[in-house]
Amino acid sequence: MARAQQGASRLANIQRNWGPKMNTPGASITLKETSRRSTGKQTVVFYRIIASGMPKDKLYSLVLTSFDLQPKPIMEGITLDGSGQAVCSGHLGGCAEPGEENDPVDLGLVAARAEPKRFTLVSEDGQVKAFTYVIPFPVTGVDRGCSIEAILLLQHAEAVLIQGSGFAANAAVRMKAMSETEQQENDLKADSSGGIFTVLLPYVKGKTDGKGKVTFASQTCSPSLTYQWGLHSYKEQ
């Protein structure tokens, strides 16, 4: 159990730090949702990539880092237009097809509930990098200005990050977590900005699938959420 907890804590640290802390100084990217489209079996969520503080005279690659933590380039030859939007231009050897020069990059994603999609936009020479993530189908709970969110750290929810925001600064928070018939309670403390997090290992001995429920209770609010775990829990929406 101790080894599993250590591994889960490492995954949680990667997820929690994925973003501005890892960027080249001055660089940043955001993903802006533009539409959702049903294929009949899945919902594809489309995003535009907006960069700031990144040179516009470079080619970039978009890299996806999934649950296995193996970076996988998914598009190369990206350039940035005058507004910082990622496009496939016809210059610099960009990714444009004939007749589609300067078209914005439309990133289409399918995902399970609570699944983070982690991206890096990196220049061809490796000198400029920016990191961000999106969760197309979030699992959240809200109560009186406080919120908590479940984020999958492993595909079948073997480890789940629960992070909250909006709590009073340094507030005492009582966490109650149920997984099927098993319950655990812990005393947590929000940080100076009202943020808080914990990592759960929800699997129950003798079961392959189940449901978890988490509540973060403070003096001012008590948000809760439920999520699925197990071998059959990962389902693209």
182 shares a domain with 144 = yes
111 shares a domain with 211 = no
129 shares a domain with 208 = no
- Write out the residue range of the structural domain in which residue 45 sits: 2-134
Half-sphere exposure of 143 (CA within 13 A, CB side): 16
152 shares a domain with 66 = no
Burial of 85 per CB tally in 10 Å (0-12, 13-18, 19+): middle
With vertex at residue 40, the alpha carbon angle to CA 36 and CA 46, rounded to the nearest 5 degrees, is: 20
184 shares a domain with 113 = no
33 shares a domain with 122 = yes
In a domain, 96, yes or no: yes
CB 148 within 8 A of CB 41: no
CB-CB neighbours of 219 under 10 Å: 10
> Looking at residue 219, which CATH number applies to its domain?
2.60.40.10
Residue 4 to residue 233: CA distance in whole angstroms: 20
In a domain, 236, yes or no: no
The pair of three-digit structure tokens given for residue 11, joined into one six-digit string: 């995954």
Phi then psi for 102, rounded to 5 degrees? 70, 15
Nearest of 78, 175, 74, 68 to residue 119 by alpha carbon: 74
Residue 19 to residue 32: CA distance in whole angstroms: 15
Residue 54 to residue 57: CA distance in whole angstroms: 9
In a domain, 237, yes or no: no
Instruction: Identify the pLDDT of residue 1.
Output: 66
Please report, in tens digits, the pLDDT of each residue of the chain (237 residues total).
Answer: 678 889 999 999 999 999 999 999 999 999 999 999 999 999 999 999 999 999 999 999 999 999 999 999 999 999 999 999 999 987 666 787 776 778 999 999 999 999 999 999 999 999 999 999 999 999 999 999 999 999 999 999 999 999 999 999 999 999 999 999 999 999 999 999 999 999 999 999 999 999 999 999 999 999 999 999 999 999 999
7 shares a domain with 120 = yes
Instruction: Quote the number of domains for the chain.
Output: 2
Phi then psi for 87, rounded to 5 degrees? -135, 165
Instruction: Identify the pLDDT of residue 176.
Output: 98
192 shares a domain with 109 = no
55 shares a domain with 120 = yes
Instruction: Identify the pLDDT of residue 99.
Output: 65
In a domain, 28, yes or no: yes
> Looking at residue 89, which CATH number applies to its domain?
2.60.40
In a domain, 235, yes or no: no
152 shares a domain with 178 = yes
Half-sphere exposure of 90 (CA within 13 A, CB side): 6
65 shares a domain with 169 = no
118 shares a domain with 163 = no
